[in-house]
Structure formats: C-alpha cells, structure tokens
Chain A
Amino acid sequence: MNRVIAFIPLIAFAAMAVYFWMGLRQDPSEIPSQLIDEAVPAFDLPAIEGFDQGLSHEDIQGEVVLLNFFGSWCPPCLIEHPMLMQIARSGTVPIYAIDWKDEPGAGAAWLERHGNPFIRIGDDQSGRTAIDFGVTGAPETFLIDRNGRVRYRHVGVITEEVWEDTLRPMVEALQRS
C-alpha cells in the first residue's frame, strides 16, 4: 500500500471538514436572488380593496425605492412594520408595497390597524408577481435604483440593525450616484 494512497482518505476528509466549518456559518435556507442587477420584472397590479391606486413597474422608475412584499397573514411582517413606519417618517426613501396572496379587504384592514408606510400598494392575489420576483416568503424587500434595476434583496424582517448597517448605506449610495 503506497504511502501516498494511504493518506488520500485523510486529505479528502480534511477538505470536507473545511467545507463543513464554512457551512456552519451560513444559512442554508437563503437563496440568492436571480434579479440582482437585472431590470425589475414588468408588472401592473390593481389597487387593493379600499384603495384607489394600484402599482405597476413604471410607477417606481426614476428614483431609488424599496419594494416590500407583505401580507396580513404574515406574523413577521407585523414585527417589521414599526421599522417601515419609521423609515417612511424619516423620508429617506419611499417604500412601495405588494400585498401578496391576501383576502380582499384584509390588507387594507391590516394597514388601517397598524399604520400605512407605503406610497402605493399593488394587489397580487394570484401570486404571479411574487413568483416573477423569485419571492420565497414574506416579508421580502427589494432595493431598486432609479433606473429600475434591482440592486439588493433582503429576506425577512428589516430590523434596526439591518437598516442601519446594510440598507441605509446602500440607499444613500445609490441616491448620491
């Protein structure tokens, strides 16, 4: 048995161990967005029940915006909501929203109860637009630049940290350029 061959199993294991170690630091349930640096998918959604204006991709051209997917059925969305209200009040960046798979009227009732930080809201009852965006759950927020290109996607709740450390710097950088 050749010395070199005898050590191959150990070398293979060592390589594996390195990957495991690196893998521990990652969240395997995060899937990177396919849309980064791509144009926003075309959509034209009606208004949710109780509102006048819907949302289309043309409405969010020309400035840096956040696009938030939410639903009244989604508990983490409720957790994130005060943060969105805070961002809206600060005026740093306009937030648009898509009400995903909600019963008619439910979205409006929810916003009535908890406050409405959104400039305009589109009603995606069928879920097609969410699929076009590659959305896997709510809440998800997309950062879109003034040319209508998706620059970043945040999966999950936007916390104080996420805003201060990640989103806000990106928003401001895009607004300056």
Chain B
Amino acid sequence: MKKLLLALSTLALAAMAPGPDEIMEDPALEQRAMALYDQLRCVVCQSQSIGSSDAPLAVDMRSVVRERLLAGSSDGEVLGYMQERYGDYVLMRPPLQANTLLLWGMPLIFVLAGGLLAFRYIRSQAVEDETLSDADLKKAEALMKEEGLE
C-alpha cells in the first residue's frame, strides 16, 4: 500500500517537470537535455522518465544531465554516466547488446517466420481453377445485370 501511495503521489506531482528554472541558456543544449530526459528512467517512480517526474531524485538527475552537457559530454556519454551508476535499468531504451538482441530482433523474426509458414500453407492448398465456359459466363452476366448486382 505504501509503495502504491508513493508511486501515485509522485505521479501527482509530475505536473511541473521540468520547471521553468531548469531551462538551459543555449537552445541547442536545452533541446538535447529535453531529449535525454525522456531517455532516462526515474528510478524512484519507475514507469516515468525523469522528464515527466517531479520526484526530488528526478530533479537531481536532470541537474546532472545539464551539468554533463555543459561539461561537453556527448549524448551517449551522458547516458553512459547514468548507466554506470544505476545500471541498464535507468535507460528507457534497452541497449543493443547480447541479452537484448532477441528483444530488438523479435518482430522481424516473427513476421518472417510467420510469413514463411503462411506461404507454405497457402501453397499446400489445392486451389481449383474455376473457369466458366463462355456460354455460362454470358448467362451469368445477363442474370446479374437483371438484378442490378455485380
């Protein structure tokens, strides 16, 4: 119950993240910062990014992101900085590494495998060639015209 309340209350506070006093002077850096906020998970309120959480830790983490950017780190380096401290967990986008290869590749594998199976199934059916004789075809067309159908 406590965890529920904590989670819900941090959600409720999430109105103002990030606040107006967190805007960076350099618009290019500000844009990078905003993009990075969305890629880092708030470790206290687990389903949100630090960009949409007002938990004190999220505020601190945003400060760190800004500091790192001002210090000249690349986006990758900023993410790596957080990853060093909190683990893969903190990245919203699971890294492309051995244990996540399956995760990323899955949709493609699925579609290809499914497509292959479907292809073979359809082929295996016997589809009769239905062709009407010309006379029958004319009769059918006449009937359909009468009914106003097609």
Contact = CB atoms under 8 A, between A and B. Distances in A.
Interface of A: 29, 31-32, 34, 101, 126-128, 130-134, 136-137
Interface in B35-61: 43-44, 46, 56-57, 60-61
Contacts of A31: 43, 86-87, 89
Given A127-B56, A131-B61, A34 B3 contact: no
Nearest to A73: B56
Contacts of B57: 127, 130-131, 136-137
Instruction: Give chain B's interface residue range (CB within 8 Å of chain A).
Output: 10 to 19
Contacts of A133: 85
18 contacts: A29-B46, A31-B86, A32-B87, A34-B84, A34-B85, A101-B60, A126-B60, A127-B56, A127-B57, A128-B64, A130-B60, A131-B60, A133-B85, A134-B85, A136-B43, A136-B44, A136-B57, A137-B44
Nearest to B82: A131
B44 A34 contact: no
Contacts of B63: 126-127
Given A101-B60, A134-B86, 12 more contacts: A29-B46, A31-B86, A34-B85, A126-B63, A127-B56, A127-B57, A127-B60, A130-B57, A131-B61, A131-B85, A134-B87, A136-B44
Nearest to B41: A31
B138 to A, nearest CB: 42
A89 B128 CA distance: 91
Nearest to B121: A1
A136 B43 CA distance: 6
A34 B87 contact: yes
